[in-house]
Amino acid sequence: LRRPRVAVDAMGGDHGATVVTRGAVLACRELGVEVSLVGPEAALREQLTGVDAGGLPIAIVDAPDVVEMSETVSRATLKKRSSIQVALERVRAGQADAFFSAGNTAACWTIAKMVLGTLEDVDRPGLTAVFPNRSGRTVLLDVGANAQCKARNLEEFAVMGSAYSRGVFHTSSPRVGLMSLGEEPTKGSELTRDVHEVLKASSLNFVGNVEGHDLFTGKVDVVVTDGFTGNVVLKSCETLAEFMIDLIREELMRSARTKLGAWLSQPAFREVRHRSDPASIGGAPLLGMKGCCVIGHGKSSVRAVVNGIRTAAEFFTSGVNDAIEAELRSLGARKEAASA
């Protein structure tokens, strides 16, 4: 088995090339992956001089242009030699197995669609968030790629999310839930009522409608929703987690007693941050593309970059994309047979 090769957009993320380069070097050292670090060659060469990368399988690939975090998608797609585009082209050309960027999410997703295209039978790829739950991981999609969805899109999300949960988290028969206002199939929107029927008739392990609670209860492994709801939920939860940790820090600093308590409690807090931090889980896979793309948080730290590269490598080695294609093909065949 050869090492997974990950093309990394060195210019993505709020903290710039220094953090991404350090993360990429650590990933090579810790994970046994090969990295091509894509960005302006001279700048990256300078970054690498500062770190000990001797003997590691890390190569610089030149891409002179940079897509800014706040740049519009239409401008970003005009930069044909951007680090995002060049890194994705390496995946298309078979020079890399997977792509990671902590850059402009909308630009990554649009350029990936242009460069790689979607898997056969996929109408809309889904951006996927992974939440910690009481017993494992909950996969939620879509979290922002598709603000408006049709029933067919959520059906695809369910197939793709199941394949991802099975391939990467080794869930034997992923339980799929449809995000709604209550468990009753009649509650919710027109879309959820349509999707409920479609998923009930599918061969997936559909457990029915779920509520916001169930992202964290461990009742389901996969939750499907439209990209509007998914995006708002993801961002609310991210910020609430930070807010609570800040609140705790603030309160602990109020007295000598609690300051000592805080010091003694440090190992526990470190573990909580690790278990609840999306960075430790490692980026959002973009499911449904011809290729394995993972998009990290703009705020990604060095550790988050390492974990994002790990996620990209696992996405590739788990064979999720083959499973998605096979399942969508058999779904299409079943539908054709049913309508014949």
Among 80, 152, 200, 275, binds a copy of itself (CB under 8 A): 275
Q: What is the DSSP string of 293-319?
A: EEE--TT--HHHHHHHHHHHHHHHHTT
- Minimal distance, residue 159 CB to a copy of itself, in Å: 22
Count the residues of the shown chain that bind a copy of itself, applying the rule CB under 8 A: 60
248 is an interface residue for a copy of itself by CB under 8 A: yes
Which residues in the 283-322 window bind a copy of itself by CB under 8 A? Answer: none
Among 232, 322, 329, 330, binds a copy of itself (CB under 8 A): 232
Among 202, 276, 280, 317, binds a copy of itself (CB under 8 A): 276
Residue number, 153 or 321, with CB nearest to a copy of itself: 153
Residue 99 tokens read as: 């792509």
Q: What is the DSSP string of 194-240?
A: HHHHHHHTSSSEEEEEE-TTHHHHSS-SEEE--HHHHHHHHHHHHHH
Helix crossing, 16-31 with 302-317: angle to 10°?
50
137 is an interface residue for a copy of itself by CB under 8 A: no
- Type and span of the H or E element at 245: helix 227-252
Residue number, 30 or 251, with CB nearest to a copy of itself: 251
271 is an interface residue for a copy of itself by CB under 8 A: yes
Stretch that binds a copy of itself, among 35-43, 76-84, 223-231, 298-306 (CB under 8 A): 223-231
266 is an interface residue for a copy of itself by CB under 8 A: yes
> Is it true that the peptide bond before 142 is cis, omega within 30 degrees of 0?
yes
169 is an interface residue for a copy of itself by CB under 8 A: no
254 is an interface residue for a copy of itself by CB under 8 A: yes
Residue number, 148 or 172, with CB nearest to a copy of itself: 148
Rounded distance, CA 305 to CA 295, Å?
Answer: 10
Q: In what order do the strands lie in the sheet with 58-62?
A: 58-62, 34-39, 5-9, 98-101, 292-295, 284-287, 126-132, 137-141, 222-224, 175-179, 205-210
Rounded distance, CA 153 to CA 150, Å?
Answer: 5
Instruction: Decide the pairing of beta strands 284-287 and 126-132.
Output: antiparallel
135 is an interface residue for a copy of itself by CB under 8 A: no
267 is an interface residue for a copy of itself by CB under 8 A: yes
- 72-235-68 Cα angle (round to 5): 25
Residues 6+ apart with CB under 8 A from 142: 124, 126, 127, 128, 149, 153, 157, 224, 225, 226, 227, 230
Among 46, 68, 120, 251, binds a copy of itself (CB under 8 A): 251
- Minimal distance, residue 49 CB to a copy of itself, in Å: 37
225 is an interface residue for a copy of itself by CB under 8 A: yes
- Interface residue list for a copy of itself (CB under 8 A): 132-134, 144, 147-148, 179-181, 187-190, 211-213, 215-217, 225, 227-229, 231-244, 246-248, 251-252, 254-255, 257-258, 260-269, 271-272, 275-276
